[in-house]
Amino acid sequence: GENVGLHLPTLSVQEGDNSIINCAYSNSASDYFIWYKQESGKGPQFIIDIRSNMDKRQGQRVTVLLNKTVKHLSLQIAATQPGDSAVYFCAENRGPKAAGNKLTFGGGTRVLVKP
């Protein structure tokens, strides 16, 4: 899906620098969080996830940090590349496990990588 968003916050980053994308959530009962990347005309693509019993998880060039005290989630991208240009969404699972895995998405942050 296309994300031409007049109100999307935008992060401009120089190629090779690190990017940090932030997300606040409101439901203290949320126990599972995910970051998705969405390129223009495509569906969201899973990047990394984290459970509420963790405060940090690392993947390839990405790290997710979870601060439950202030209900804050961040995604760090190391050595940002032009292919990282996209809209990034955080998502949380708010319901109990019995309610399934439906996700509540944040509004998204557009990342623009400058060569």
Partner 1 sequence: GAGVSQSPSNKVTEKGKDVELRCDPISGHTALYWYRQSLGQGLEFLIYFQGNSAPDKSGLPSDRFSAERTGGSVSTLTIQRTQQEDSAVYLCASSRSGVAGGFMGGEQYFGPGTRLTVT
Nearer to partner 1, 9 or 82 (CB): 9
Q: Is 87 exposed, middle or buried (0-12, 13-18, 19+ CB in 10 A)?
A: buried
Shortest gap between Cβ of 65 and partner 1 (angstroms)? 17
Nearer to partner 1, 102 or 115 (CB): 102
Shortest gap between Cβ of 14 and partner 1 (angstroms)? 26
Contact 29, 38 (CB under 8 A): no
**Binding footprint of partner 1 on the chain (CB under 8 A):** 1-8, 31-32, 34, 36, 41-46, 49, 51, 89, 91, 93, 97, 99-108
10 Cβ contact list (under 8 Å, min separation 6): 109, 110, 111, 112
Query: Which DSSP state fits 97?
Result: G
Measured between alpha carbons, how far is 75 from 67 in angstroms, rounded to an integer?
A: 12
Shortest gap between Cβ of 8 and partner 1 (angstroms)? 6
Nearer to partner 1, 3 or 63 (CB): 3
Shortest gap between Cβ of 43 and partner 1 (angstroms)? 3
